[in-house]
Amino acid sequence: MRRSARTFLTILTAWAGLHAAAQAASSTAPAATGKVTSASIWKLPQDFLTKAHAACDKLSGGPDFDECFIKQMPAQGAPAAAVDFTRMLYKQSDGQIGIMSDFKSFGVVDAAQVFYPLRANTNDGLLLVNGDPKILDVDDLQKLDRAAMEQNSFFKAIKVRFPDTDIWPGDRGGAGLWPRVQPLPDGGTEFVVSYPLINGCHACRHVGLARFGWEFDASGKFLKTVYIPTPPPPRILHQPRAKQQSPDAGQPQPAPPASQPPQQ
C-alpha cells in the first residue's frame, strides 16, 4: 500500500512538471516565432516625453538621439516586448520611432495602432502586422493604386471643383478607427482603409474620402491595393459657386449719346 502511494505521488509530480513546462512553452510561443501580439502595447506615462527629451536633447540628433530615446522606454517601465516592437519598427521604417498603443487580432494578418512621439503633425499610425512583409504601414501612400483612383469619375468630379485635391494619411488613433476586414474568394483577406481627400495643405479643406483595400492571400502574403470607388459628399459637389462679376462691373459707364434732331 505504501509502495502504491509512493508510485502515485511520483506520477503526479511528473505530470505536474510536464503541465507546467507545457504552459511555459505556450506562453512564450509568440516570442519564439516573432509574432506581434498585444504584449507589445505600452501606455506612455504622462511625463515620458518630458523625461525622454530631458535625457536625449543634448545629443545632436540622428541615431544617437534615437537610441537614447528608445532606451528611455524600459527606464520608465515599458515591458521588453514593447521595446522589441519599437526596435523592429525602427529598423523596418527608415528610422521612425513608434510605440504600440493598441492591437487587434484578425487572423493570419493583424493590425496595430502606433503612437509616433516625434512626428510634427500626425502622431497616430496604423500597421498591418504578422503577414509578409512583417509590417505594412497603411499610410505608405506609394503602395496605393493611385492610377485607378485618378481615372475614376468620382475623383475627377472632385478635382474639377477643387483642383488641388490629393490623398493624405488618415487619423489612425482611437477604438473606432480599425479597418474593415472582409474575406476574399480564394481564402485571403482584404483590409479596407479610408483616406482623406484634402484640397491643398494638411490644414486645408477636406473634400471627400478615398478607400483602398489591402489584399493578402490565405498565407498572409501581401498582394496589392485596390481602389474602392467612393461617392463624394453631395454637399461638396452641389454647393453653389460664388457669383463672378463681369469685367466692367463697378466701373463708370459712358453716358448714352444725346438724341439728334431729325434731319430736315
Question: What integer pLDDT is reported at residue 243 of this predicted model?
Answer: 47
pLDDT tens per residue across span 146-163: 999 999 999 999 999 999
Q: Which residues of the chain carry a pLDDT beneath 50? A: 1-2, 5, 7-32, 242-247, 249-250, 259-264
Report phi then psi at 260, rounded to 5.
-95, 145
Question: What integer pLDDT is reported at residue 263 of this predicted model?
Answer: 47
Question: What integer pLDDT is reported at residue 254 of this predicted model?
Answer: 53
Question: What integer pLDDT is reported at residue 185 of this predicted model?
Answer: 93
- 79 vs 39: CA distance, rounded Å: 8
- 160 vs 154: CA distance, rounded Å: 10
Question: What integer pLDDT is reported at residue 238 of this predicted model?
Answer: 59
pLDDT tens per residue across span 104-123: 999 999 999 999 999 988 89
Q: Are 90 and 66 in contact (CB under 8 A)?
A: yes
Question: What integer pLDDT is reported at residue 74 of this predicted model?
Answer: 97
- 217 vs 215: CA distance, rounded Å: 7
Q: What is the CA radius of gyration of the chain?
A: 30
Please tell me the total number of residues recorded for the chain in this structure.
264
- DSSP annotation of 258 reads P
Position 120, amino acid:
A
Question: What integer pLDDT is reported at residue 171 of this predicted model?
Answer: 87
pTM above 0.75, yes or no: yes
- 216 vs 115: CA distance, rounded Å: 25
Question: What integer pLDDT is reported at residue 32 of this predicted model?
Answer: 42
- DSSP annotation of 26 reads H
For residue 226, what is the enclosing H or E element?
Answer: strand 222-228
Question: What integer pLDDT is reported at residue 236 of this predicted model?
Answer: 67
Q: Are 215 and 227 in contact (CB under 8 A)?
A: no
Q: 134: which residues sit within 8 A by CB, 6+ positions away?
A: 34, 36, 88, 92
